Amino acid sequence: MSTNKNIAIIPARGGSKRIPHKNIKLFSGKPIIAYSIEAATQSGLFTEVMVSTDNNEIAEIAKKFGANVPFFRSPQTANDYANIGEVVEEVLLNYQNQGKIFDNVCCLLATAPFIKPERLIEAYQLMKEKGYDSIFPIVRFSYPIQRALRLNNGSVSMFQPENFAKRSQDLEPAYHDSGQFYWMKVEAFMKQKRFFAQNSGAIILPETEVQDIDTEEDWKLAELKFKMQHE
């Protein structure tokens, strides 16, 4: 597949409070960051696949699995308060200073072992066909959010009590970010400085392809789900 100067950026900071060494912890036999690197390279979409890190060990593992680490992250984007958008902006500006300009950027999370090359391609093609400034995968909430409950000092109440008696099939489906990757046109991103552009699209993933990984329990659930997919 021909490329249009696309860059894949995988942010992978060294510090991780809840899961130590989270970005390079072994997941089903290999460092979890390897899945994002391999999905990007196997998609055939990118002229550059890079990992943005502040950590030597992460950099060496990233290069072992085929990513580039042409420079390290600055202290400003390596602290606990920097967001991913700032990391992506810093990377693009560093490449720009080297005379390398990209048309599109895809930010892949380092702890997303369910990313598939086919999904990257599907989202990219839809972004090009529909003219979106950004596109990312989403997943449907398994339970109607219109029936969400509030807990206040042990007392339970509904956020929207008017939906108590409504049938589930009569409530509008709601979705959330799958936390895997974000495609963006570089020009639009540099103007808006955010992934959720004014003109954004989405592809829908099944729950079997999505698992947020923030705790050790999340990690175990992800491994069970991954094992189920690959048996």
Residue positions annotated with a catalytic role: 167
Reported residue count of the chain is 231
Rounded-to-integer distance, Cα 5 and Cα 128, Å: 14
Beta strands in 97-148 (DSSP E): 104-108, 134-140
Report the 10 Å Cβ neighbour count for 189.
23
Rounded-to-integer distance, Cα 6 and Cα 105, Å: 6
Rounded-to-integer distance, Cα 37 and Cα 39, Å: 6
- Amino acid identity of residue 126, one-letter, is L
Report the 10 Å Cβ neighbour count for 34.
21
